[in-house]
Amino acid sequence: MSDFQNEIIENNDAKKKLSPFQKLSSAQEQLKGNILEFCKTHQKDEHAIFVIEGDPGTGKSVVINSIFNDLQRLSRSKESGDIFSGKENYLIVNHPEMMKLYKNISEDFPYIRKKDFERPTTFINKMHKLKKRADVVLIDEAHLLLTRPDKYNRFNQNNHLEEIIKLARIVILVFDENQVLKFKSYWDKNALLKILKGYPVKTFYLEDQFRMHANFDVLEWIKNFCARKVTHFPKKQDFDFRCFADAQEMYDLIKQKNSQYGLSRIVATYDYPYRLDGKEHFIDEGRFHLRWDLSKPDERLPWAERPDTINEVGSVYTVQGFDLNYVGLILGPSVLYDTQADCLRLDPARYEDGAAFAGKDGLPHPEKVKEQIMLNAINVLMTRAVKGLYLYAHDPALREKLLKEQSERN
């Protein structure tokens, strides 16, 4: 982990972590140069697509925002003759918490304006109404784009990405199939390739981990867990990775870490009832009793940055895309350990996110996809932490297995 990336993550202001002025790694600089050259090469083509892939924490959003700042600076520059001058560019993200962050960032940089950021459906409907086409569109978290019509979101076409490509000359997108969370936005590599077929496409894979200050064995443990394997605990290291027999004890430590370092929160798998009815809904695990995060769409700050959310339990939807210093993760009733098969077992019937499984028409093997979505959510939740990850399992067998593996580690 390089010193400058440490500085990024140590800072408790999420805006600064995603700032376009953050120093990039050599791989990120190479990617940025490749993309700007790609834009120059294809500026007069009908369509061209650049795909950025990488695991959580590899700095995809940092690169996207840095490129967007450069494009908008050149677009709004008074110097004539630059090929990017006067271009109409947008950054799209289908994530309300990330949208808050991007719009907050725009306040600090003269070339970026709030109107440059759009949700995908808003962008599509606006461009169709104006009968216009954008020059360059950047899409963060493209794996959250809809893959079917959605009346609730006023999206009447078949696929967000398909429509955005029609409405832009160049599309630059961030994609990670292991962060797909809903049937209505179900993506895999084949689905992406099908949409991109026939267009000029370039792909770049970011590999270096910049979020988690952890050794490779921690990252490997998480990957194994999300592949249903509960393996030996990683060796003790600076990254504080442990499991707890008591959820309240874990929460007490999270509060202590939050007082010391900030940005430390409790999160949980979506296994506890929650409704958007304005009421408080609680998670109970023994002595632990804490409410789910309250929906505050008009709140200026994202959930992860609000001080009061230390008194709430976050979901995958409130923390996806964000860094937290310490994370206490409650693995709820849907996450089980099969002692005979020695592997993780999932029970979709106990998963309380009904919206995630709405609209299975046309999906091959929907039951299999359900379990993959649940594993994806665990992957997102386990990869938010910079300094430490704590686990508590509702299932007694899983809790016992985790504690046993922890007691036997070096």
pLDDT at position 12, please?
52
Taking only the tens place, the pLDDT of each residue in 175-230 is 999 999 999 999 999 999 999 999 999 999 999 888 999 999 999 999 999 999 99
Residues 197 and 260 in one domain: no
Residues 183 and 220 in one domain: no
Residues 279 and 159 in one domain: no
Tell me the C-alpha distance between 218 and 207, whole Å.
15
pLDDT at position 133, please?
96
Residues 58 and 81 in one domain: yes
pLDDT at position 10, please?
47
Residues 248 and 359 in one domain: yes
Residues 290 and 197 in one domain: no
Which residue from 26, 12, 63 is spatially nearest to 386, judged by alpha carbons? Answer: 12
Residues 194 and 284 in one domain: no
Q: Please check whether residue 153 lies inside any domain of the structure.
A: yes
Report the amino acid identity of residue 266: I
Report the amino acid identity of residue 198: G
* pTM, entire model: 0.93
Strand order in the sheet with 282-285: 240-243, 385-393, 324-331, 264-268, 312-314, 288-292, 282-285
Classify strands 240-243 and 385-393 as parallel, antiparallel or unpaired.
parallel
Which CATH number is 142's domain given? Answer: 3.40.50.300
Residues 142 and 261 in one domain: no
Q: Please check whether residue 190 lies inside any domain of the structure.
A: yes
Neighbours of 210 (CB within 10 A): 25
Tell me the C-alpha distance between 191 and 175, whole Å.
12
The tokens for 200 are 């000029």
Burial profile 378-404: b = 16 or more Cβ within 10 angstroms, e = fewer: bbbbbbbbbbbbbbbbbbeebbebbbe
Q: Please check whether residue 157 lies inside any domain of the structure.
A: yes
**Torsion over CA: 153, 154, 156, 161 (sign):** negative
Q: Please check whether residue 211 lies inside any domain of the structure.
A: no
pLDDT at position 81, please?
67
Q: Which residues contact 198 (CB under 8 A, 6 or more apart)?
A: none
As for how many domains the chain has, the answer is: 2
Q: Please check whether residue 318 lies inside any domain of the structure.
A: yes
Q: Please check whether residue 137 lies inside any domain of the structure.
A: yes
How is residue 78 annotated by DSSP? S
pLDDT at position 2, please?
39
Report the amino acid identity of residue 42: H
Residue 131, CA distances (Å) to 42, 127, 128, 167, 195 in order: 22, 6, 5, 9, 22
Residues 198 and 284 in one domain: no
The helix (run of H) or strand (run of E) holding residue 70 is helix 60-75
Q: Please check whether residue 348 lies inside any domain of the structure.
A: yes
Classify strands 288-292 and 335-338 as parallel, antiparallel or unpaired.
unpaired
Residues 199 and 284 in one domain: no
Residues 228 and 170 in one domain: no
Q: Which of 206, 227, 253 is the last residue of a domain?
A: 206
Residues 254 and 195 in one domain: no
Q: Which residue's structure tokens are 């849907």? A: 334
Tell me the C-alpha distance between 377 and 188, whole Å.
15
Q: Please check whether residue 388 lies inside any domain of the structure.
A: yes
Neighbours of 190 (CB within 10 A): 8
pLDDT at position 189, please?
94
The helix (run of H) or strand (run of E) holding residue 301 is none
Burial profile 254-271: b = 16 or more Cβ within 10 angstroms, e = fewer: bbebbeebbbbbbbbbbb
Which three-class secondary structure state does DSSP give residue 140? Answer: strand
Tell me the C-alpha distance between 44 and 47, whole Å.
9
Q: Which of 183, 206, 229 is the last residue of a domain?
A: 206
Q: Which domain holds residue 14?
A: 3-206
What are the residue ranges in the chain where pLDDT is below 50? Answer: 1-11
Taking only the tens place, the pLDDT of each residue in 290-303 is 999 987 878 989 99
> Are 202 and 42 a contacting pair, CB within 8 Å?
no
Which three-class secondary structure state does DSSP give residue 139? Answer: strand
Q: Which of 178, 206, 234 is the last residue of a domain?
A: 206
